[in-house]
């Protein structure tokens, strides 16, 4: 139906159908379970593969062998362990045993090895419940100066001379002019690695730093699943594990021995199907977890309910019947394999994965949607292209990963009912799966674009702003984990339809955990997702509402508005209203009032070099006081600059909201050559013009205006001339050359290159671009304009007998 509405150009009905699930007479309900997999059906060709994705080892020493380390004197913000790895670390103090999440303990990235592997120093002795994991500068200096450097001096001898004595020296060296830091990396030889870890800790302790007593090294091998996949068989699991450890330079026997700390491994199961995109069923999360971990069914059901603090549900592509999950089971739910963490997801997220600014996928921000028009427009276009391209070749597999102690690496995810797991899946044809996303993205782009005029947000109503803020949340969650932080929850309460909480929870139709009762005990109305997808409430759109908006007075709470947009609703609407009285500059207008910059050389993006044949240059003299000048090269450069300058100073409309006479884009003008001025079809260059065939006298007169003789350059203000870089350089050349030499240069230019030009603006003494037919004896022919009213009509002169063309489609 979406395609039919689009073909009929019923765009208002299209966006309501796609985003709200509404037609004039019906409400849309999506039953994704119609595509549920029946693993016992003969036509279902399903493949299951097992792999090892990540390894985390907490050890008192560095357990890396037969490979070099690449280390830094200190780490940059963001390099250290910040994210929860779902591992508790326990250590002894004078007051007894303490345990804390590993990522909450002060730590610092120390070294890397191979491509994806790293070693992080962890300092339990510095832990405090009220302290961040981030080490301050004083501690980093102590770690380097009293730990890392002394250990390396002892192991490397004279090879350590290049290490700065104090960390401040390295920070001084690393400081760039931009203020950013670029730390040096050093290579540490493989044959000394086994002695390094203990020596660093001992050096710190010997220098009085008791907080180094419990220091450990976290070994992290991340994201290598595609190098270790194997059959779901015991022998294959054993062989793959040995290869995995060998390729990552960790001795398996020592890691397994129990004498070198605690080691956890992520064991993965990936399921794929021919010609189908596979997705996890939301109603089967408990079955998947119970089957793979052998926990009690009631326990699996308890920890996978919406509202459980141990469970996070990640809806897939706005479809509520399919979703991924993240489970932190705790002691009661870890089962016989002692599962520390479980995640279920689909592999298509890799196509939009992009870490940055606390996000893990391509995204736009609420501020982008409100202000950054060009960036958001490009985002939607690229996202649409990605979805449409993926529909041809990209299938989606499902994965489940269990983080377990290394002892269970070759037993977990082997002995389970494969049919039961496969029956927890949905299989959708790729064109349907990606097409659903593409239609949603296209609808969001339409609604968003209707809210802007000339790049400016048009409406000063709360309902329009609320709809604008719904767009980034919906766009981002099409391909990434939906944001359910406090401000986003408040947004969802405002943009989704509401229903009685107790009924919605019973049917699992709420988007995130939420309180279901009011203070007085009555049923609370909460956001609902009861029709199989995240459909927003009806908004006003169409001819009567050219700027789409939500009806009514419902809006974000004050704190949520500030969190998303950085200001209160009142201030934002006031600014929008003020901007309505500001003239918005036409996006295609030229900056013809400014001094034109000199062109970069061709190898740096400028136009290609000219190779003018300029006769009679030999023997010309240049004033001895001037620097040496290569005359042919200098004239070529001036002429090369001339073509770009002339195009860039073309006239604009007098009205700032109007356009320009120039049709070429900025990118096209920046690389323009003589070929632009040899174009016969003027509609390719200009939006409108009037032209006349120039007799030789007029053509020569224009040449004299554009390239004046020595002493003829006017000191009077001239429109355009003094703003052109070519004109300034031409006058500099005139000042440097003697009279005879400069006249030879002009005559060579006139008789050769200037005769190759087909058209030019009819330059006058006071301006290069004339837009009025001031001399009635000149007979201009005006081409019909093909742009909005108010655009100036430049006067063009033609060199030669050929009549110019005006083919707008050409």
pLDDT digits (tens, 9 = 90+) for 353-404: 877 666 778 888 888 888 877 788 889 999 999 999 998 888 999 999 999 9
Q: Is the per-residue pLDDT at 775 higher than 80? A: no
**What is the per-residue pLDDT across 754-773, written as a single tens digit (0 to 9) for each?**
999 999 999 998 899 998 87
Burial class (CB in 10 A: 0-12, 13-18, 19+), 393: exposed
Q: What percent of the chain has pLDDT over 90?
A: 49
Q: Which residues contact 354 (CB under 8 A, 6 or more apart)?
A: 360, 361, 362
Q: What percent of the chain has pLDDT over 70?
A: 89
Once rounded to an integer, what is the mean pLDDT over residues 774-794? 70
Residue-level pLDDT at 619: 53
pTM over 0.75: no
First to last CA, the chain: 37
Distance separating alpha carbons of residues 313 and 322, to the nearest angstrom: 10
E-assigned strand segments in 38-175: 46-59, 69-72, 88-93, 96-101, 107-113, 117-122
Q: Return the closest-CA partner of residue 403 out of 55, 660, 136, 111.
A: 55
**What is the per-residue pLDDT across 528-539, written as a single tens digit (0 to 9) for each?**
888 999 999 999
Residue-level pLDDT at 339: 96
Residue-level pLDDT at 615: 64
Residue-level pLDDT at 74: 74
Q: Is the per-residue pLDDT at 603 higher than 70? A: no
Once rounded to an integer, what is the mean pLDDT over residues 426-440? 94
CB atoms within 10 A of CB 132: 10
Once rounded to an integer, what is the mean pLDDT over residues 102-124? 92
Residue-level pLDDT at 629: 63
Residue-level pLDDT at 150: 94
Output the six-digit token pair for 787.
Answer: 């742009």
**What is the per-residue pLDDT across 14-53, written as a single tens digit (0 to 9) for each?**
999 999 998 888 899 999 999 999 877 766 789 999 999 9
* C-beta of residue 88 within 8 angstroms of C-beta of residue 291: no
Output the six-digit token pair for 580.
Answer: 């309505």
Once rounded to an integer, what is the mean pLDDT over residues 609-633? 61
Beta bridge mates, 681? 805
Phi-psi region of 258 (alpha: psi -120 to 50; beta: other; left: phi over 0): left
CB atoms within 10 A of CB 362: 18
Place of tokens 């459909």: 535
Q: Say how far residue 14 (Cα) sits from the centre of its chain.
A: 28
Is residue 186 helix, strand or coil? strand
Q: Which residues contact 541 (CB under 8 A, 6 or more apart)?
A: 12, 15, 16, 447, 450, 548
Residue-level pLDDT at 715: 46
CB atoms within 10 A of CB 10: 14
Q: Is the per-residue pLDDT at 333 higher than 90? A: yes
Q: Which has more confidence, 790 or 312?
A: 312
Once rounded to an integer, what is the mean pLDDT over residues 252-271? 95
For every residue of 715-731, which 3-state class applies, written as one string?
A: CCCCECHHHCHHHHHHH
Residue-level pLDDT at 626: 47
Residue-range domain boundaries for the chain = 1-29, 61-214, 602-798
Phi-psi region of 490 (alpha: psi -120 to 50; beta: other; left: phi over 0): alpha
**What is the per-residue pLDDT across 200-241, written as a single tens digit (0 to 9) for each?**
999 999 999 999 999 999 999 998 999 999 999 999 999 999
Q: Which of 316-320, 650-654, 684-688 has the highest mean pLDDT?
A: 316-320
In whole angstroms, how far apart are CA 709 and each of 413, 697, 737, 739, 747?
Answer: 87, 16, 12, 9, 10
Burial class (CB in 10 A: 0-12, 13-18, 19+), 36: middle
Q: Label residue 69 by pLDDT band (50, 70, 90).
A: very high
Q: Is the per-residue pLDDT at 258 higher than 50? A: yes
CA angle 66–69–71, rounded 5-degree value: 170
Q: Which of 183-192, 271-280, 392-401, 624-633 has the lowest mean pLDDT?
A: 624-633
Q: Is the per-residue pLDDT at 519 higher than 80? A: no
Q: Label residue 660 by pLDDT band (50, 70, 90).
A: confident
Residue-level pLDDT at 763: 92
Once rounded to an integer, what is the mean pLDDT over residues 539-564? 88
Q: Which of 104-113, 189-198, 334-343, 730-739 has the lowest mean pLDDT?
A: 730-739
CA angle 292–295–296, rounded 5-degree value: 130
């Amino acid at each position: 139906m979406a395609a039919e509405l689009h073909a009929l150009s019923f765009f208002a009905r299209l966006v309501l159908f796609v985003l709200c699930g509404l037609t004039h007479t019906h409400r849309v309900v999506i039953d994704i379970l119609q595509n549920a997999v029946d693993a016992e059906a003969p036509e279902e060709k399903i493949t299951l593969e097992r792999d090892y994705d990540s390894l985390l080892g907490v050890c008192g020493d560095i357990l890396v062998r037969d490979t070099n380390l690449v280390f830094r004197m200190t780490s940059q913000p963001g390099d250290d362990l910040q994210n929860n790895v779902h591992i508790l670390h326990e250590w002894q103090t004078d007051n007894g045993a303490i345990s804390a999440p590993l990522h909450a303990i002060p730590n610092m990235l120390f070294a890397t090895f191979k491509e994806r592997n790293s070693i992080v120093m962890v300092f339990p002795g510095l832990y405090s419940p009220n302290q961040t994991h981030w080490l301050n500068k004083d501690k980093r200096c102590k770690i380097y100066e009293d730990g890392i450097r002394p250990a390396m001096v002892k192991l490397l001898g004279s090879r350590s001379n290049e290490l700065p004595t104090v960390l401040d020296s390295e920070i001084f060296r690393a400081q760039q002019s931009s203020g950013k830091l670029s730390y040096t990396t050093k290579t540490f030889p493989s044959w000394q690695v086994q002695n390094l870890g203990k020596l660093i800790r001992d050096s710190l302790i010997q220098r009085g730093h008791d907080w180094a007593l419990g220091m450990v090294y976290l070994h992290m091998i991340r994201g290598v699943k595609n190098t270790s996949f194997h059959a779901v068989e015991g022998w294959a699991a054993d062989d793959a594990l040995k290869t995995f450890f060998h390729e990552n330079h960790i001795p398996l026997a020592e890691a397994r021995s129990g004498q070198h700390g605690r080691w956890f491994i992520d064991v993965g199961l990936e399921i794929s199907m021919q010609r189908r995109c596979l997705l996890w069923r939301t109603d089967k999360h408990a079955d998947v977890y119970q089957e793979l971990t052998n926990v009690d069914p009631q326990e699996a059901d308890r920890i996978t309910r919406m509202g459980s603090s141990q469970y996070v549900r990640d809806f897939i592509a706005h479809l509520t019947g399919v979703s991924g999950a993240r489970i932190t089971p705790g002691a009661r739910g870890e089962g016989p394999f002692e599962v520390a963490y479980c995640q279920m997801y689909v592999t298509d997220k890799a196509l939009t994965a992009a870490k940055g600014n606390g996000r893990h996928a391509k995204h736009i921000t609420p501020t982008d949607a409100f202000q950054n028009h060009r960036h958001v427009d490009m985002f939607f276009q690229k996202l649409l292209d990605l979805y449409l391209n993926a529909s041809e070749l990209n299938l989606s597999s499902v994965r489940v990963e269990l983080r377990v102690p290394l002892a269970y690496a070759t037993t977990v995810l082997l002995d389970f009912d494969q049919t039961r797991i496969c029956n927890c899946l949905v299989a959708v044809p790729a064109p349907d799966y990606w097409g659903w996303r593409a239609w949603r993205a296209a609808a969001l782009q339409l609604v968003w674009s209707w809210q802007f005029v000339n790049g400016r947000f048009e409406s000063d109503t709360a309902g329009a702003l609320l709809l604008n803020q719904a767009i980034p949340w919906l766009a981002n969650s099409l391909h990434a984990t939906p944001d359910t932080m406090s401000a986003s929850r408040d947004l969802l309460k405002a943009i989704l339809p509401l229903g009685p909480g107790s009924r919605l929870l019973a049917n699992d139709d709420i988007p995130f955990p939420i309180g279901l009762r009011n203070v007085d005990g009555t049923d609370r109305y909460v956001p609902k997702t009861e029709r199989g997808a995240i459909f927003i409430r009806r908004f006003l759109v169409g001819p009567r509402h050219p700027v789409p908006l939500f009806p009514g007075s419902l809006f974000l709470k004050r704190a949520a508005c500030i969190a998303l947009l950085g200001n209160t609703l009142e201030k934002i609407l006031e600014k929008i209203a003020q901007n309505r009285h500001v003239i918005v500059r036409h996006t295609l207008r030229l900056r013809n009032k400014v001094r034109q910059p000199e062109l970069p050389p061709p190898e740096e993006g400028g136009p290609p070099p000219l190779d003018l044949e300029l006769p009679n240059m030999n023997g010309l003299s240049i004033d001895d006081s001037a620097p040496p000048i290569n005359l042919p090269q200098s004239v070529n450069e001036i002429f090369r600059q001339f073509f770009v300058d002339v195009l860039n100073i073309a006239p604009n409309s007098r009205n700032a909201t109007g356009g320009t006479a120039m049709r070429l884009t900025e990118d096209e003008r920046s690389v323009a050559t003589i070929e632009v001025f040899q174009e016969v079809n003027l509609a390719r260059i200009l939006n409108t013009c009037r032209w006349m065939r120039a007799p030789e006298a007029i053509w020569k007169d224009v040449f004299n205006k554009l390239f004046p003789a020595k002493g003829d350059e006017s000191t009077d203000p001239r429109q355009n001339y003094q703003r052109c870089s070519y004109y300034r350089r031409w006058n500099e050349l005139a000042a440097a050359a003697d009279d005879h030499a400069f006249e030879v240069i002009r005559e060579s230019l006139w008789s050769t290159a200037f005769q190759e030009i087909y058209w030019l603006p009819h330059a006058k003494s006071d301006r290069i671009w004339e837009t009025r037919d001031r001399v009635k004896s000149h007979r201009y022919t005006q081409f019909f304009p093909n742009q909005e009213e108010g655009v100036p009509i430049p006067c063009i002169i033609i060199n030669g007998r050929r009549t110019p063309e005006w083919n707008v489609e050409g």
